[in-house]
């Protein structure tokens, strides 16, 4: 009996939180390896889209949920393409129709967060690139579907290899579920998000700023958070600024040792440094999650095989900071006028 206790004692130190951190870091690193090692159009989005399935409290989708996820992505991608083909030539129909679609995506609570994210990305990217070339729009549709399939398989594999385990006497206390928002509250948040996103989307569409799509996607992702305030805005700026600085440091190291396996090792080590802090449960924990997501996005895109990769790192860091500051200022202004109206 004492021998069994001596074996279990050290294992108690490696509890559920440690398993979750390990899965988070390994999942993100594997996603980066696949995105850069295999590669396809928009593959650099894979690590950021997949990492949500490894975040604190995240559970792998069941087989039924996985099929629904793929069905949602496929339908939304082709729906975005169909909408562009019907309304793309009639700008007076395109703008209100597109605004209504975005409002519906922001408002609905029928989609899981990751499903909603893929739907939002589909409707942002497909019409945007459709204005440039219909062939490019078709290619993006299949890229989004490919990314969804790879994401789902990756999530299942990582969760199967590193499953949750509960040590004797270490059952995690159940956290109370957050109170769901009413339909009116969701509509108010959806209108706020639409007000922030739509002007930027229209500017990108009409001027065809396809080189800055990262800003557009980042703004849309950030605007999905309904609980925005000045404190959260400063956290966004700090977290993404930290991620940008880390990305620059990692890239300069890659210039010295331009090897694929060295890149993966750097991502792994960065995850092992930021991951435990992200899962710590402290007030500053979300900052480290933001920083790691920013690192994954910037490094994945900057190392996609172009000659101006070094310049890309600085440009992407600047673009992300512009996106974050835009969202912070836009929501701050809306909150200010809302409070004045209520006063």
- pLDDT digits over 266-308, tens only? 999 999 999 999 998 888 888 899 899 889 988 887 776 554 5
Instruction: Measure Cα distances from 190 to 5, 58, 103, 139, 184 in Å.
Output: 54, 24, 6, 30, 10
- Work out the percent of the chain whose per-residue pLDDT is above 70: 83
Distance CA 271, CA 9 (A): 27
pLDDT score of 179: 65
Residue 39: which region, alpha, beta or left (left: phi > 0; alpha: psi -120 to 50)?
left
Q: Is 340 helix (H, G, I), strand (E, B) or coil?
A: helix
- DSSP state string for 149-160: HHHHHHHHHHHH
Tell me: pLDDT of 183 over 90: no
Question: Model confidence at 15, in pLDDT bands (50, 70, 90)?
Answer: low
Tokens of 8: 């279990």
> Is the separation of the CB atoms in 202 and 92 below 8 Å?
no
pLDDT score of 170: 47
pLDDT score of 304: 65
pLDDT score of 100: 93
Distance CA 18, CA 311 (A): 37
pLDDT score of 4: 45
pTM value? 0.79
Instruction: Measure Cα distances from 330 to 149, 199, 238, 242, 324 in Å.
Output: 35, 11, 17, 22, 10
Distance of CA 227 to the CA centre of its chain: 17
Average pLDDT, integer, range 185-196: 84
Sequence-ordered alpha helix ranges (H) in 38-133? 46-51, 63-87, 91-107, 113-130
pLDDT score of 166: 53
Distance CA 150, CA 155 (A): 9
> Is the separation of the CB atoms in 16 and 172 below 8 Å?
yes
Distance CA 142, CA 80 (A): 12
């Amino acid at each position: 009996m004492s021998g069994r206790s001596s074996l279990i004692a050290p294992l108690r130190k490696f509890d559920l939180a440690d398993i979750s951190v390990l899965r988070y870091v390994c999942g993100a690193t594997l996603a980066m390896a696949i995105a850069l090692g295999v590669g396809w159009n928009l593959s650099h989005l894979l690590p950021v889209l997949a990492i949500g399935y490894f975040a604190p409290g995240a559970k792998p989708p069941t087989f039924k949920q996985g099929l629904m996820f793929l069905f949602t992505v496929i339908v939304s991608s082709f729906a975005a393409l169909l909408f562009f083909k019907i309304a793309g030539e009639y700008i007076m129909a395109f703008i209100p129709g597109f605004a209504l679609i975005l409002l519906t995506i922001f408002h609905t609570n029928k989609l899981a967060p990751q499903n909603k994210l893929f739907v939002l990305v589909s409707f942002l990217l497909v019409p945007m690139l459709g204005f440039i070339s219909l062939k490019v729009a078709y290619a993006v549709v299949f890229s989004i579907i490919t990314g969804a399939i790879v994401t789902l398989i990756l999530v299942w594999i990582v969760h199967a290899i590193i499953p949750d385990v509960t040590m004797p006497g270490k059952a995690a206390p159940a956290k109370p579920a957050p109170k769901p928002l009413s339909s009116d509250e969701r509509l108010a948040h959806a209108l706020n998000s639409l007000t922030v996103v739509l002007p930027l989307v229209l500017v990108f569409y009409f001027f065809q700023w396809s080189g800055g799509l990262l800003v557009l996607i980042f703004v849309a992702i950030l605007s999905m958070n309904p609980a925005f305030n000045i404190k959260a805005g400063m956290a966004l700026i700090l977290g993404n600024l930290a991620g940008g600085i880390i990305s620059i440091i990692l890239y300069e190291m890659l210039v010295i040792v331009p090897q694929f396996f060295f890149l993966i090792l750097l991502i792994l080590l960065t995850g092992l440094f930021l991951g435990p802090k992200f899962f710590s449960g402290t007030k500053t924990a979300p900052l480290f999650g933001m920083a790691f997501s920013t690192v994954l996005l910037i490094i994945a895109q900057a190392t996609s095989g172009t000659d101006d990769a070094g310049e890309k790192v600085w440009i992407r860091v600047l673009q992300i900071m512009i996106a974050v500051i835009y969202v912070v200022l836009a929501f701050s202004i809306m909150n200010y006028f809302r409070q004045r109206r209520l006063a």
